[in-house]
Chains A and B, each alone.
Chain A
Amino acid sequence: MRRHWGLYLFPIPALALYLAFFVLPAAQGLQYAITDWDGFSPSYNQVGAGNFARIVTNDDQFANALRNNLTFLLAVVSGQTVLALGLAVLLAARTRGSTVLRALFFLPTVLSSISVAFVWRFVYDPNLGLLHSLGVPGRFLGDEDTAILWVAVAQIWFHAGQMMVLFIAGLHQIPAELHEAAHVDGAGRWQRFRFVTWPMLAPATALVVAYTTIQSFKAFDLILGLAGNPPRSSLDILSTRIYTTFTNSQLGYAAAESVVFMLAIGVVTWLQNRAARIGAGR
């Protein structure tokens, strides 16, 4: 085929914006992370690795946010994956009813996280709330030890339908012959799920787990909407912690926290990839 040099012009507008407002700030973020800049003073000092040293060794609030974030991550990933898979299995067959229910279960995904937060704030309200009226004991978001888990429930309600759709797509890719063969071999329902469906769903599961992880690191809006701004320490996660540090005029330190945040996401994602590979026997 003739070479069309003109093709190289097509990505230029997008590349220009991307380099200027995405790549450049990313690089600048690394620069700020080694300063004590407050964000508005004309001058600031280079502190080298000082910010990082403080984050790692001597920052209880950051450690607390990291712990909350990991608890939240584990709760959302396990709860949402199991729920979404269950719903997908129940709704995989295309009947009239299943189409309607799929649409309904997906619906929360199109709402804004702040709207979802308000819905759940009412559910958890200790005086008026839905759970309180149903006689469920507990202070929910007011309970220091479990507050973050109640947010996890809201997050699962928000996105389980989206993950269900990914699982349904995965289920539809499993050749029907496999089930038939297992059936002929005398495998029961559970055995067919365990030895046919579940292994064949490995790619979909890896995708759901990876995406749920990213989503739970980004749960910022939901927390602010449920907990207020700044959130109390029992609800603080990494994204809200960075924001709070930043709004407290510690821009350099917040930038350093962002770098650690990125690393944390990187490590968790890498561990997941490894786990998925080991799970797939590679």
Chain B
Amino acid sequence: MTRRALLAVYALLIVVPLMVVLFGSLKTTPDLFASPFGPPTAPTLGNYRVILGDAGLLRVFGNSALVVIVSVPATLALASLVGYAVARLPRWPSRILFGVFAAGLAVPAQAMMIPQYVQFDRLGLRDSLLGLMLINVVVTLPVAVFILSGFMRTLPRELFEAAALDGAGPWAAYRRVAVPLSLPSLAATAIFLLVMHWNDLLYPLLFIDDPAKRTLPLALLDFSGEYLTDYPLLFTGVVIASVPMVLLYAFLQRWFVAGITAGAVKG
């Protein structure tokens, strides 16, 4: 009984704030003041209209989508090539290669962001979506390499030897053996990267000046300055930014858990 009670309490702690946000996004500001927590008495989509229209969040949404559509597959492709090499190279080259990337795991973005800012500025890659895609790829390479080489090393070597006997070069073996067999870990890594890239605030905050190039988290932060405590609008922003991830999570739960947990196993 106590077990159930404890779990119920924690479930409420998760659900109630999220419901308040969802309900709040359907209220007008006076309604929210009148009843901050309950379901909306006269639900309205007015906030959504304001945000998607005036505040240009549709464009911002598009920017975020574009960034992840490019940066997630690019990171996966680059990291899986490294993972494959780590799995197949002789012992020492493999260890060195892995070590070089693994060392990057210990470096937090905040320690790198300043020289990266200078560098991207000099290259003219600051204030551009291309720059954001590139930095996303670079900063998540270490963890993606870590997850994927971990998996590719578990593939039996005999498979690659058999492929070589059949006359397959390394590239053919990568395409026909390594990639198909590692699809589950590629999927899990993809989701991990998706969550990271979609939710990142630091680099857009550093790199993007042009309001038209903002991504969702940055637009949300700007909102909080503009609308300060206009909670219905803030909540609407939260809902719009979260819906894609929450929907994907609802359908691909297993992969989310696998991916984000594998990402955690990096220490």
Contacts and interface: CB of A to CB of B under 8 A. Distances in A.
Interface of A: 1-2, 4, 6-8, 10-11, 13-15, 17-18, 21-22, 24-26, 28-29, 32, 39, 86-87, 90-91, 101, 103-115, 118-123, 125, 128-130, 133, 157, 161-163, 165-166, 169, 207, 210-211, 214, 217-218, 220-221, 224-225, 228-229, 238-239, 242-243, 246, 251, 254-255, 258-259, 261-262, 265-266, 269
A243 B260 contact: no
Given A22-B142, A217-B108, 18 more contacts: A4-B164, A6-B171, A7-B85, A7-B89, A8-B85, A14-B141, A15-B82, A18-B100, A21-B135, A24-B119, A28-B118, A90-B6, A114-B199, A122-B20, A130-B16, A133-B37, A165-B261, A258-B111
A228 B225 contact: yes
A114 to B, nearest CB: 5
B224 A1 contact: no
B209 to A, nearest CB: 12
Given A122-B21, A162-B261, A104 B14 contact: yes
Contact of B264 (A166, A217, A225): A166
Chain B contact patch, size range = 35 or more
Nearest to B84: A10
A115 B260 contact: no
A164 to B, nearest CB: 10
A259 B111 CA distance: 7
A106 B256 CA distance: 9
A14 B82 contact: yes
Contacts of A220: 110, 201-202
Nearest to B89: A7
Given A2-B164, A14-B81, A105-B14, A165 B257 contact: yes
A28 B115 contact: yes
B220 A118 contact: yes
A11 B99 CA distance: 13
B174 A10 contact: yes
B91 interface: no
Contacts of A266: 106
Given A11-B81, A128-B36, A225-B224, A214 B108 contact: yes
Given A7-B85, A18-B104, A125 B229 contact: yes
B72 to A, nearest CB: 15
B119 A28 contact: yes
Contacts of B157: 1
Contact of B267 (A11, A39, A211): A211
| 3 pairs of A and B residues whose beta carbons are closest in the complex | A112-B199, A25-B115, A14-B78
Contacts of A254: 114
B177 interface: no
B97 interface: yes
Contacts of B21: 118-119, 122
Given A8-B89, A107-B249, A112-B242, A210 B116 contact: no
Contact of A207 (B37, B82, B145, B265): B265
B114 A128 contact: no
Contacts of A229: 221, 225
Nearest to B75: A14
A261 B108 CA distance: 9
B140 to A, nearest CB: 11
B237 to A, nearest CB: 8
B51 interface: no
Contact of A29 (B78, B112, B139, B238): B112
B40 interface: no
Interface string B107-129: 11111111111110000000000
Contacts of B241: 112, 114-115
A149 to B, nearest CB: 17
Contact of A25 (B116, B170, B257): B116
Given A22-B138, A128-B33, A262 B260 contact: no
B114 A258 contact: yes
Contact of B108 (A110, A224, A265): A265
Interface in B32-87: 32-33, 36-37, 78-79, 81-82, 84-86
B56 to A, nearest CB: 17
B10 interface: yes
Contact of A113 (B170, B199, B248): B199
Contacts of A107: 14, 18, 246, 249
A10 B17 contact: no
Contacts of A29: 111-112, 114-115
Contacts of A225: 220-221, 224
Given A6-B171, A26-B112, A261-B108, A111 B264 contact: no
26 contacts: A4-B88, A4-B169, A8-B85, A11-B86, A13-B81, A14-B82, A21-B134, A24-B119, A32-B114, A111-B242, A111-B245, A114-B241, A119-B238, A125-B231, A130-B37, A162-B261, A162-B264, A218-B108, A220-B201, A220-B202, A229-B221, A251-B114, A255-B115, A258-B112, A258-B114, A262-B107
